[in-house]
Copies of this chain bind each other. A is one copy, B any other.
Amino acid sequence: MESVRVNLGPRSYDIRFAGEAGSFADFVRFSVPRARHALVVADAHTAPHAEHVRDAIRAIGIRSELAIVPSGEATKSLEQFGKLLDALADLPADRQTPVFAVGGGVVGDLAGFAAASYNRGLPLVMVPTTLLSMVDSSVGGKTGINHAKGKNLIGAFHQPAGVWIDPAFLETLPDREFRSGLAEVVKYGVIQDAEFFAWQEANATAIRSRDRGAIERIVARCCRLKADVVEQDEREETGLRAILNYGHTFAHAFETLGGYGAWLHGEAVAAGMVCASRLAERLGRIDATVTRRQVKLLEAFGLPVLRKPDWPADALIDIMRRDKKAAAGRLRFILPTKLGHVEFVDDVPEELVLEILNWNLSV
Contact = CB atoms under 8 A, between A and B. Distances in A.
A328 interface: yes
A90 B92 CA distance: 36
B85 A154 contact: yes
Contacts of A155: 117, 120
Nearest to A323: B94
A94 B156 contact: no
Nearest to A152: B120
Interface string A126-169: 00000000000000001010011110011111000000000000
A92 B85 CA distance: 28
A156 B119 CA distance: 8
A89 interface: yes
B94 A153 contact: no
A89 B121 contact: no
Interface in A76-95: 78, 81-82, 85-86, 89-90, 92, 94-95
A324 interface: yes
A15 B328 CA distance: 27
Contact of A89 (B89, B90, B153, B326): B153
Interface in A292-340: 322, 324, 326-329
A232 interface: no
A10 interface: yes
Instruction: State the copy count for this chain.
Output: 2
A326 B157 contact: no
A36 interface: yes
A208 interface: no
Contacts of A75: none
A339 to B, nearest CB: 29
Contacts of A118: 153-154
A157 B328 contact: no
A329 B116 CA distance: 21
A224 interface: no
Contacts of A150: 89
A235 interface: yes
Interface in A59-101: 78, 81-82, 85-86, 89-90, 92, 94-96
B119 A328 contact: no
A149 B92 contact: yes
A237 interface: yes
Interface string A203-243: 00000000000000000000000000000000111000000
A38 to B, nearest CB: 12
A177 to B, nearest CB: 26
A66 to B, nearest CB: 20
A10 B237 contact: yes
A298 B142 CA distance: 45
B156 A156 contact: yes
Interface in A174-190: none
Contact of A117 (B36, B119, B149, B156): B156
Contacts of A154: 85, 117-118
30 contacts: A10-B237, A36-B328, A78-B78, A78-B81, A78-B82, A78-B85, A85-B153, A85-B154, A89-B147, A89-B149, A89-B150, A90-B149, A94-B324, A94-B326, A94-B329, A95-B324, A96-B327, A96-B328, A117-B117, A118-B154, A119-B153, A119-B324, A120-B142, A120-B144, A120-B155, A120-B235, A120-B236, A121-B156, A121-B235, A156-B156
